Structure 1
C-alpha cells in the first residue's frame, strides 16, 4: 500500500512540474501561477502546495530543469572537440541557440527573484556553478597558472559578456545584432575573451 501511495505521489509531483514547465514555455514567468498549474495538471491547488511550499519553490524547480537542459546541450555540443577556444565557441553558440529556441524558459532563469532576504537553495546554486564550470575548465586550459579566485572572476566575466550579447540581441534592442550577424560576432567575442 505504501508503495502505491509513493508512486501516486511521485506521479502527481511529475505532472505538476510538467504543467509548470509547459506554462513557462507558453507564457513566460508570469504564466506560472499556482492556480494555473493546478488546472493544467488536473489537480487541486492544495495538491500543488503539498509538493511545493510556494510559487518560488515551483519556479526554482522549473528553472532547475532549464539549467539541466542547457547543461545537456552544452555537453553534447562539446563532444569530440579538443581545442579550448573551439569548445568555448561551441558553448557560446549552444547558449545562444538554447535562448533563441526556448526564450521563455531562458528568461525565467533571470527574471525570477526571491523576495526579501530569501537565499537561493544550495542545490540550485550548485546547478548554476556546474554550468559556469564548462567555461572555467576551458579558461583553465588556456591559462593554467590562473589561481582559483582569478579563474572564478574570469569565468563570470566571460559568461556575462556572452549573456549580454545574447540578451540585447534577443530583446530586439536597437544596438542588438541581426540573426545573421550575431553568430559571427559571437565568435569574435569569444576569440577576444580567449586572448586571440
Structure 2
C-alpha cells in the first residue's frame, strides 16, 4: 500500500470513529459533516472522498455498533445454560447493550435510506449475522423445524424483544426502569418459548 493510500485509509478510519463519537453524544440528527471535517482536519468536501455519502458513513458506524453487539451477545452464551435460558440471557444482554449505547443503537433503526436506494450487501450481512444467536438455541429446542420456519421464529422473537426495549428505553411517559424492563423481557421470552413448545407438542399429538 502506498503512503497516499495509507493516509487515506487512516483519515477514513478517523472519520468513521469521529462520526461514531458524534452520534453517541448528539444522536443521529446531530451528525454534521462540517463538524466531522473540522475534527479530523480535512476540508468539508474531502469527506466525500472518504465515503460515498452520509448513508455509507452512518452504515459504517452501524457496522461497528453491530460488531460490538455481536461480542456482547456472544459473551452471554454459555454452554451450561439450556436453550431457553440462553434465549433469555441473549435478550437481556441486548437490552443492556441498547441502554448502554442508546444513541448508537437508536441510529441503526432511525436511519432511513432513500426509497430507491438498496442497502449494500456488506451491511445486510452484518445485520443478518446477529440472528445466529437466536437461531442456534431455537434449532436445539425445535429440531423438527426447517431452516425457513426457524428463521421466521427467530425474527419474530427478535421483533418482540426489540419492541419492548425500544418502548421501555423511551425517555417519555412509557419509559420503564431498567431492572423492571429486564424482568419483563425475561418473562416475555419465557412465555413465548413455552407457548411455542406447547404448540409443537399439540401439533405432534395424534389427538
CA distance in structure 1 between the partners assigned to 2:34 and 2:49 by the alignment: 13
The number of residues matched between the two structures is: 195
2:111 matched to which residue of 1?
112
Q: Which moved more, 1:58-67 or 1:143-152?
A: 143-152
The alpha-carbon deviation at position 33 of structure 1 amounts to 2.2
Q: How does 1:164-179 map to 2 (within 5 A)?
A: 164-179=163-178
Alignment gaps of 5+ in structure 1: none
Asked if the contact 1:93/1:183 (under 8 Å) is kept, the reply is yes
1:100 matched to which residue of 2?
99
Q: Which moved more, 1:178-187 or 1:114-123?
A: 178-187
Query: Is the partner of 1:119 in helix, strand or coil?
Result: coil
TM-score of the superposition, structure 1-length normalised? 0.93
2:54 matched to which residue of 1?
55
> Per-residue CA shift, 1:57-94, capped at 9, x if unaligned?
10010111111110011111214444111211111111
2:130 matched to which residue of 1?
131
The Cα RMSD (Å) is 1.5
CA distance in structure 1 between the partners assigned to 2:22 and 2:124 by the alignment: 23
TM-score of the superposition, structure 2-length normalised? 0.88
Query: Is the partner of 2:130 in helix, strand or coil?
Result: helix
Cα 1:114–1:3, aligned 2, differ >3 Å: closer, same or farther? same
Query: Is the partner of 2:20 in helix, strand or coil?
Result: helix
Q: Which moved more, 1:175-184 or 1:65-74?
A: 175-184
